[in-house]
Amino acid sequence: MEKKNIDWSSLGFGYVQTDKRFVSNFKNGAWDEGTLTDDAEVRISECAGVLQYSQSCFEGLKAYTTEDGHIVTFRPDLNAARMKDSCERLEMPVYPVDKWVDAIVSVVKANAAWVPPYGSGATLYIRPYMFGSSPVIGVKPAEEYQFRVFCTPVGPYFKGGAKPITIRVSDFDRAAPRGTGHIKAGLNYAMSLYPIMDAHRNGFDENMYLDPATRTKVEETGGANFLFVTKDGTVVTPKSSSILPSITRRSLIYVAEHYLGLKVEEREVFFEEVKDFAECGLCGTAAVISPVGKIYDHGKEICLPSGMDEMGPVTKKLYETLTGIQMGRLEAPEGWIKVIE
Ligand SMILES: *Cc1c(COP(=O)(O)O)cnc(C)c1O
């Protein structure tokens, strides 16, 4: 199979239309067979549930070319399970987990020419999503839905090394204590756009959200979970029912414990403690770990000892071990790597 003629290393994180996408429709209480299509356009009612009341959820995962030339994805079963949780919370029909993973595999296979080669630093980003497609005007769930999966090649997240970022403590809240923070719903992102643009306008890369009830505990950023490292090398990550359960974060914790022999604590993390940590990183599929160098809190600055030039040593080891597993350089735990071809 011949690869597309693309300068992989200069790709950014943007949408590039690829050859095929998967579409399945839910009608009269059942999902149809689903099919791959060339058609990248969606045609739905002007009154579709998603357009009126934002009934939609999504996932994000990647396909990689490994060192020995296979195309693989990373723990797609966990994305399928998380989308099931999102659908249930939003009164949307669940797309069966097995068929969900099959859909991912079929899209990646059909777009194999778009999967960046090993060593380019680029990857194939896969976006599964679902939305209410039938007309809804009185507030209620739609009766018909569409589940789609497309993919797009994305460039190396860190061009020229992972530079630590500066974040600020946000005055806005991300998720209510018994709200929708734990599911991957588009609505959580719509309301985060103003705070993130406001952060950028003020010179910050990201927002650190605190728990809305007490504003004393660390939750997450708009799209990534926190990992901290204490001065004695323990990995600490916030536990809260309103953060999105990041698959990257859960995988890094496993790697910390079982590959690197580090102590791990998943617990409430008070903002008061942050000034005593040695390292801080943001975890998610896009970057794996993005190091944080500085945290701004209303006129006060917390400068992490790892500094503004490079990742802290523990963060770096975590990053290298997990990307080593994803790229096939290190042996993966049972069930983590789904070989596509
Ligand atoms: C998707 C997402 C993450 C990261 O999850 P991964 O499974 O690691 O990609 C973290 N926080 C939020 C709010 C997200 O939507």
**C-alpha of residue 243 to centroid of ligand 1, in Å:** 9
- pTM value surpassing 0.75: yes
| Three-state secondary-structure class, residue 247 | helix
pLDDT of residue 1 exceeding 90 = no
Q: Residue 31: CA atoms inside 13 Å, Cβ hemisphere, count?
A: 17
- pLDDT value, residue 158: 79
- 8 A C-beta contact, residue 79 and residue 86: no
- pLDDT value, residue 253: 98
- pLDDT value, residue 4: 95
- pLDDT value, residue 240: 97
- pLDDT value, residue 229: 98
3-55: pLDDT as tens digits: 999 999 899 999 999 999 999 999 999 999 999 999 999 999 999 999 999 99
Q: Which two tokens stand for residue 61?
A: 């995962």
Q: Locate the ligand 1 atom nearest the alpha carbon of residue 224 and give its number.
A: 10
Residue with CA nearest ligand 1 atom 5: 246
Question: Considering only CA atoms, which of 282, 318, 12, 328 is closest in space to residue 154?
Answer: 12
Instruction: Quickly state the pLDDT bin for 106 (edges 50, 70, 90).
Output: very high
**C-alpha of residue 184 to centroid of ligand 1, in Å:** 8
pLDDT of residue 270 exceeding 80 = yes
DSSP labels, 301-339 = EEE-TTTTTS--HHHHHHHHHHHHHHTTSSPPPTTSEEE
pLDDT of residue 341 exceeding 80 = yes
pLDDT of residue 161 exceeding 80 = no
State the average pLDDT over residues 315-322. Answer: 97
CA dihedral 4, 10, 16, 19 (to 10 degrees): 10
Q: Which residues form the pocket of ligand 1, taking CB atoms under 6 Å from any ligand atom?
A: 60, 184, 220, 223-225, 244, 246-249, 283-285
Please state, in angstroms and as integers, the Cα–Cα distance from residue 152 to each residue in 1, 16, 18, 63, 268, following that order.
18, 5, 6, 10, 36
Q: Locate the ligand 1 atom nearest the alpha carbon of residue 59 and give its number.
A: 1
Active site residue 294: no
**C-alpha of residue 246 to centroid of ligand 1, in Å:** 5
Q: Locate the ligand 1 atom nearest the alpha carbon of residue 188 and give its number.
A: 13
65-90: pLDDT as tens digits: 999 999 999 999 999 999 999 999 99
Q: Locate the ligand 1 atom nearest the alpha carbon of residue 283 and give its number.
A: 8
pLDDT of residue 160 exceeding 80 = no
Instruction: Quickly state the pLDDT bin for 159 (edges 50, 70, 90).
Output: confident
Q: Locate the ligand 1 atom nearest the alpha carbon of residue 251 and give its number.
A: 8
Residue with CA nearest ligand 1 atom 1: 223
- For the chain, list the domains and their CATH numbers: 8-154 (3.30.470.10), 165-326 (3.20.10.10)
In sequence order, the β-bridge partners of residue 291 are: 281
240-254: pLDDT as tens digits: 999 999 999 999 999
Averaged confidence pLDDT in the chain: 97
193-248: pLDDT as tens digits: 999 999 999 999 999 999 999 999 999 999 999 999 999 999 999 999 999 999 99
Q: What are phi and psi of 253, to 5 degrees?
A: -65, -40
**C-alpha of residue 75 to centroid of ligand 1, in Å:** 14
- pLDDT value, residue 314: 98
Residue with CA nearest ligand 1 atom 15: 223
**C-alpha of residue 4 to centroid of ligand 1, in Å:** 29
- pLDDT value, residue 56: 98
Q: How many CB atoms lie within 10 A of CB 327?
A: 17
- pLDDT value, residue 332: 98
Percent of the chain with pLDDT over 90: 97
Report the residue among 79, 85, 172, 244 best suited for mutation to probe ligand 1: largest number of ligand atoms under 8 A from its CB.
244
Looking at per-residue confidence, does 136 or 161 come out higher? 136
Percent of the chain with pLDDT over 70: 100
- pLDDT value, residue 72: 98
Q: Which of 20, 184, 294, 338 is catalytic?
A: 184
Report the residue among 285, 322, 326 best suited for mutation to probe ligand 1: largest number of ligand atoms under 8 A from its CB.
285
pLDDT of residue 178 exceeding 90 = yes
State the average pLDDT over residues 116-131. Answer: 96
**C-alpha of residue 189 to centroid of ligand 1, in Å:** 11
Report the residue among 246, 253, 288, 290 best suited for mutation to probe ligand 1: largest number of ligand atoms under 8 A from its CB.
246
